[in-house]
Chain A
């Protein structure tokens, strides 16, 4: 397979390839083209026809990992270690989701090379020197790092940081057994999926968030309606989560999730630094707040100074009228 091969770990949920994996495939394709090597997609069986289509014609080869039961982090580590030792890829890219962050650090220890998480930019200089960019201190700065030549480069890519592309390749499919993994004694008792139509915060194209200015938990039903009209996800500020108005999984900010959607709408959020750290990398930010001095306006592209409880219903109505 050669030294210039780029591997991409492809994640599925509900049997479908996730968008963040398609972004990693797209970025992997660019790297493979520049290096002149193949792009290899690695994913767990079973492979449906739809799964292969979801690779968007980007991969030259698919390695389907076959095994019993579900691929836990320990068997993924075991399997990838074996594959890497056999084929020495130039780089292994994965979507920076919680599940990747469960196995990739362990793999990094296994093969003795550092990994870089939350990568938001990547460039190949002189055809072989890889530099990556990632945010630090909650996005207040970016750090740029260059890879040394040894070892496969392990990279977890921030969801939504890289554009999706398509190609016209028909990948060959090889099978490889999923290793059992050391019996590390973590037993899954139950798994609760969120309801259908749920859009994960970090993968959402549009995030609509509410803060204290919403007035109370009831007001969030309008925000949910707005999110579903826009195909987006609902987010919340820390104080809203701390008050028990919304679940912790929706919290955006330093102590919650970091998001980079195309559009971030902040309703009744004052813009404390804690919050800004989780959303400042959004492409377009809209802020609605009745306080004209709210800090959020310093981090927004578009602003409306008004009560969210007047603007939100008007917004929902306007979107319904236009749809």
Chain B
């Protein structure tokens, strides 16, 4: 059983970011982290490996050299191997290109099961998982909050879709996108972290076709700023609550 995990490296949520190049770019502090949902996917893969010794886990990342950060984390958590698909300067915003490149890499690396996060926290697109599955002609199961495997040919997953849950059975090869609840990413041990630091990622070249996208980037901009907060005063909680309801109802017509 070979599990390939797709891992994206994203700016740390505390990282400073600002708009650059007159709106055409985003300058990011060199603080990176493994995308949260991908960390869940790595954790699940490593847990499956711990339960069944015949499982091998390969982490795959696509992008410039900073994506090694995410690969290191995956190895530190317990992935056996790391594959770095080089390139993709601006690919974080173009899921179709990333999916095309990753699916080619996956054909090279091989897999029975592919795991990845249901979305990345930088572009928030949530497209790459199902796209990779389509490129490879395999089924996908998205928003998995649970995944059970008894070592046989099929797996059972629960999808948590907000307004309902769905339990599905599927056979391999397949791709599963990880949602919260699937697994809780571990903090790597010191030995694991050392392994991550010493990691030698296998480099892979895949032909890209940048600029063929149907959308061109115009600019980045700041969201609307909220006006100064209005604090509601009152002698007691009851008075404050009454005033809040009055404002929401009479001034803002929200209730």
The chain A residues found within 8 Å of chain B, CB to CB, are: 13, 73-74, 77, 97-99, 101-106, 108-110, 113-118, 131-132, 134-148, 150-151, 153, 182, 184-194, 198, 200-202, 206, 230, 241, 248-249, 251, 254-258, 262-263, 273-274, 277, 280-281, 284-287, 297-307, 310-311, 313-315, 317-319, 322
Contact = CB atoms under 8 A, between A and B. Distances in A.
B237 A306 contact: yes
Nearest to A152: B214
Contacts of A102: 130, 142
A98 B26 CA distance: 28
A313 B252 CA distance: 22
A-B complex: 4 closest residue pairs judged by Cβ atoms? A314-B241, A184-B139, A310-B237, A109-B134
Contacts of B220: 136, 141-144
Nearest to B18: A141
B131 interface: yes
A114 to B, nearest CB: 5
B203 interface: no
Interface residues of B, number: 82
B214 A113 contact: yes
A302 B135 CA distance: 48
Name A's interface SS.
Answer: mixed
Interface stretch (B46-54, B71-79, B187-195, B243-251): B243-251
Contacts, number: 251
B180 A256 contact: yes
14 contacts: A13-B163, A105-B95, A105-B130, A106-B130, A139-B223, A143-B220, A185-B174, A186-B168, A188-B167, A202-B162, A248-B160, A254-B13, A273-B13, A286-B244
Contacts of A113: 96, 214
B163 A315 contact: no
Contact of B241 (A147, A307, A311): A311
B14 interface: yes
A98 B161 contact: yes
B156 interface: yes
